[in-house]
Amino acid sequence: MLNTTEPTQPETIVSLKGVRKRFGKNEVLRGIEIDVIRGEVVAIIGRSGSGKSTALRCMDYLETIDDGSITVCGHRVNDKTNLKALRLDVGIVFQSYNLFPHLTVEENIMLAPKAVKRLPKREAKELAHRMLREVGLTDKAEQFPEQLSGGQQQRVAIARSLAMQPKVMLFDEVTSALDPQLTGEVLRVIENLARGGMTMIMVTHEMNFARRIADTIIFMHEGTIWEKGPPSMLNNPQTVELKEFLQNEL
């Protein structure tokens, strides 16, 4: 018997079409186009000021756009977006940890599930401890942020985002404030998430990590997507701009 079932198309979970963004007279995004499928890991690289972090922030409506369209997890991202619904589906972690200093580690993680998802305290606590296991910090649940290293605080920030069980994780230069040893701690957590099939878009300056973990690398230059391809593109840059960028990163 013939199998007439059509092969399923990969699901596009993030889509940016013709996105433009200005700050005053400075156009920082110039019509960028990005499509990310479920389970894909995308690394965005580029010089400071190239627009990469702005692109990421637009995906979670932390910045508004001037033209084009953004769709994330089925949500059209604009001023009519249900932000609560969007942010239930999208987790974002920045280079600054933004933990509440007066709350313990587990309380920081429990806060949003209790407030947004209305989880009972006991369930929220169990969830927090599951997330802490994922980031290797089960022994830090009762400590306060100031008692942790920078790498540990960043791992707590990741656990806090994961507690909302997002469909997409956005990482914005999460290791840029950390020394090499602490950077390794955080990158191992992100790598484990990738192995687990989490859809991720990360702005990073960690070139070796991007080569190892990303399915797709986007090089941004002057608000545009200058080059895009698999990690192997970093071994054979097609433009002078990417070649110079990689030389400066060594």
67: domain CATH number is: 3.40.50.300
Pairing of strands 75-76, 67-72: antiparallel
Q: How many domains does the chain have?
A: 1
Predicted local confidence at residue 5, as pLDDT: 56
In a domain, 34, yes or no: yes
* Residue-by-residue pLDDT tens, the chain, 250 positions: 455 555 567 899 999 999 999 999 999 999 999 999 999 999 999 999 999 999 999 999 999 999 999 999 999 998 888 888 998 999 999 888 889 999 999 999 999 999 888 999 999 999 999 999 999 999 999 999 999 999 999 999 999 999 999 999 999 998 887 888 888 889 999 999 999 999 999 999 989 899 999 999 999 999 999 999 999 999 999 999 999 999 887 5
In a domain, 215, yes or no: yes
Domain that holds residue 237: 12-249
- Work out whether the CA dihedral 112, 114, 119, 123 comes out positive or negative: positive
Residue listed under structure tokens 């990741």: 158
In a domain, 36, yes or no: yes
In a domain, 2, yes or no: no
Rg (CA), the chain: 19
In a domain, 5, yes or no: no
Predicted local confidence at residue 31, as pLDDT: 96
Structure token pair of residue 216: 């797709």
The secondary element (H helix, E strand) that includes residue 11 is none
Predicted local confidence at residue 2, as pLDDT: 52
The closest of 132, 177, 168 to 13, measured between CA atoms, is 168
User: Distance between alpha carbon 37 and the CA centroid of its chain, in Å?
Assistant: 14
Distance CA 32, CA 11 (A): 20
Predicted local confidence at residue 95, as pLDDT: 84
Q: Provide CB contacts within 8 A for 186, sequence distance 6+.
A: 151, 154, 155, 158, 174, 175, 178
Predicted local confidence at residue 30, as pLDDT: 96
* Longest pairwise C-alpha distance within the chain: 65
Predicted local confidence at residue 6, as pLDDT: 57
